[in-house]
Structure 1
């Protein structure tokens, strides 16, 4: 019987393989969610480099990283940093997470900030 971790990893890999097919050279907005924090980074898979990153561990993010408000703040911040790096179009990599709650809040805030996906 497979553990929950193995199931999540398979789901994340399945999601990423679909993204590679539709990416067409666009960067990938990858999200990681832990019980205490949420992290987002824009990755150029062709060159294997991180172009922009944001998380709730940064000093100027107030409050807990485990709520929707913090996820919105990270989404806004990643959109700002993407603009500075001249990135407009990305593909959204939710990993193995369901598009709900903090993941959805981060994605919506990034869209409002100007990212297209």
Structure 2
């Protein structure tokens, strides 16, 4: 399967799931993006169209993270959960963004749940 086919497939899955998954101020959408070497997570309020907070493996505060990509993903999940809980957000809607729920996506979700987010 070529890269174009994989991307097109993911975009179709993303469009189907985004028709159902919506974030609100009280229960924002935890959107995850995975590149080949990095992972990004953000909490989005779809009603106002604003990103409430974000965490990524590229940020300066995470420059010292070491370990496997899955371990880094779990740490990013914990970090976004801690930021959310500090803002009073405990419930979110998980948006895997068309990616399969395994590996780094699952590790991020497990890290966020472990830190206290409910979804």
Note whether the superposition's TM-score is higher than 0.5.
yes
Match of 1:95 in 2: 97
Match of 2:6 in 1: 4
How far apart, CA to CA, are the structure 1 residues paired with 2:45 and 2:115?
20
Can you give the 5+ residue segments of structure 1 that lack an aligned partner in the other structure? Answer: none
Match of 1:73 in 2: 75
Match of 1:41 in 2: 42
Once the two structures are superposed, what CA deviation does each residue of 1:10-51 show, in whole Å capped at 9, x if it has no partner? 11111111213xx67621000000001000000000111111
Q: Does 1:57 align with 2:61?
A: no
How far did 1:73 drift? 0.7
How far apart, CA to CA, are the structure 2 residues paired with 1:37 and 1:63?
12
Give TM-score scaled by structure 1 length. Answer: 0.88
Give TM-score scaled by structure 2 length. Answer: 0.87
CA RMSD of aligned residues (A): 1.8
How far did 1:85 drift? 1.6
User: Are the aligned partners of 1:42 and 1:53 in contact in 2 as well (CA < 8 Å)?
Assistant: yes
1:110 is paired with a residue whose SS is helix
User: Are the aligned partners of 2:45 and 2:51 in contact in 1 as well (CA < 8 Å)?
Assistant: yes
Runs of 4+ more than 3 Å apart: none
Once the two structures are superposed, what CA deviation does each residue of 1:38-94 show, in whole Å capped at 9, x if it has no partner? 000000001111111100012232236x71010011001000110122111110000
Can you give the 5+ residue segments of structure 2 that lack an aligned partner in the other structure? Answer: none
What is the aligned counterpart of 1:109 among 98, 108, 111?
Answer: 111
